Amino acid sequence: MTEEIDNATRTTALLVDVGTGVRLACRATPGRGGEPVVLLHALGETGRTWEPVADAFGGRPTYAVDLRGHGDSDRPGDYSVALMRDDVVGLLDALGLDRVSVVAHSLGAMVACLVAEAVPDRVGTLVLEDPHPLRRADPPRELPPRPAGALDFDWEMVGQLLPLRNDPDPAWWDALDRITARTLVVAGGPPSHLPQDEIADLAARIPGGRLVTVPVGHEVHANAPAEFVRIVGTFLEAG
């Protein structure tokens, strides 16, 4: 593991060998205590997406992860949601994090669900922001043209992940009832491109899952940061 400390922000940039053949970049910020928070971003983003809503995490230690193929993490050319799940579990092991809260958006929320299914005793609280509903997409989304210029992620990853988003493994949906974490689902409402009825079904499938809708679209934390901070902060504090 390598690290670089930013004394101005008290954030440590880590590059962690997670035992799956890749290294994940992670920005670790110390807190005043409480269950650490692991932050997982959407497709094509990085852990820095959470910086504007850091107040939501109540001063807890936070670990803002770049998933494989994103940001400063390795780009191995091999991508799947299950591999990303294994990466995150490996990161918990490497950092010695026995039990965490996970806050995750979109693709990151898919990964978070799989983590909470695989190691339910290690996820105490789960916040899913406008998650992909882990069901077959109808109609399926098509691969968009590659954006021009340099990208902060591996474009090859998009083509590999899209079939998994269109037609997820049914076992992922079936295993949602294994999740034991206190769970909040923050849906983006009608402006989102994701099917909101499916997101509601996902929340209902998780034991004790709670659903809140903020009708500002898929990027709730970006489009309504103050509301996101209020809702998520209150939920985390209640735990």
Q: Please, where are the H alpha helices in 78-182?
A: 81-95, 107-118, 155-166, 170-174
Using CA atoms, how far apart are residues 103 and 108, in angstroms rounded to an integer? 9
Domains of the chain: 2-238 (3.40.50.1820)
On whether the pTM is more than 0.85, the answer is: yes
Using CA atoms, how far apart are residues 115 and 96, in angstroms rounded to an integer? 16
Could you list the pLDDT tens digit for every one of the 239 residues in the chain? 665 565 556 789 999 999 999 999 999 999 888 999 999 999 999 999 999 999 999 999 999 999 999 999 999 999 999 999 999 999 999 999 999 999 999 999 999 999 999 999 999 999 999 999 999 987 888 888 999 999 999 999 999 999 999 999 999 999 999 999 999 999 999 999 999 999 999 999 999 999 999 999 999 999 999 999 999 999 999 87
Task: Provide the pLDDT for residue 1.
Answer: 67
Distance spanning both ends of the chain, measured CA to CA: 31
Structure tokens, 106: 């979109």
Among 47, 63, 81, residue whose Cα is nearest residue 153: 47
Using CA atoms, how far apart are residues 160 and 48, in angstroms rounded to an integer? 24
Q: What share of the chain is helix, strand, coil (3-state, %, to 5)?
A: 40, 20, 40
Under 8 Å CB-to-CB from 194, ≥6 apart: which residues?
Answer: 130, 131, 132, 133, 188, 218
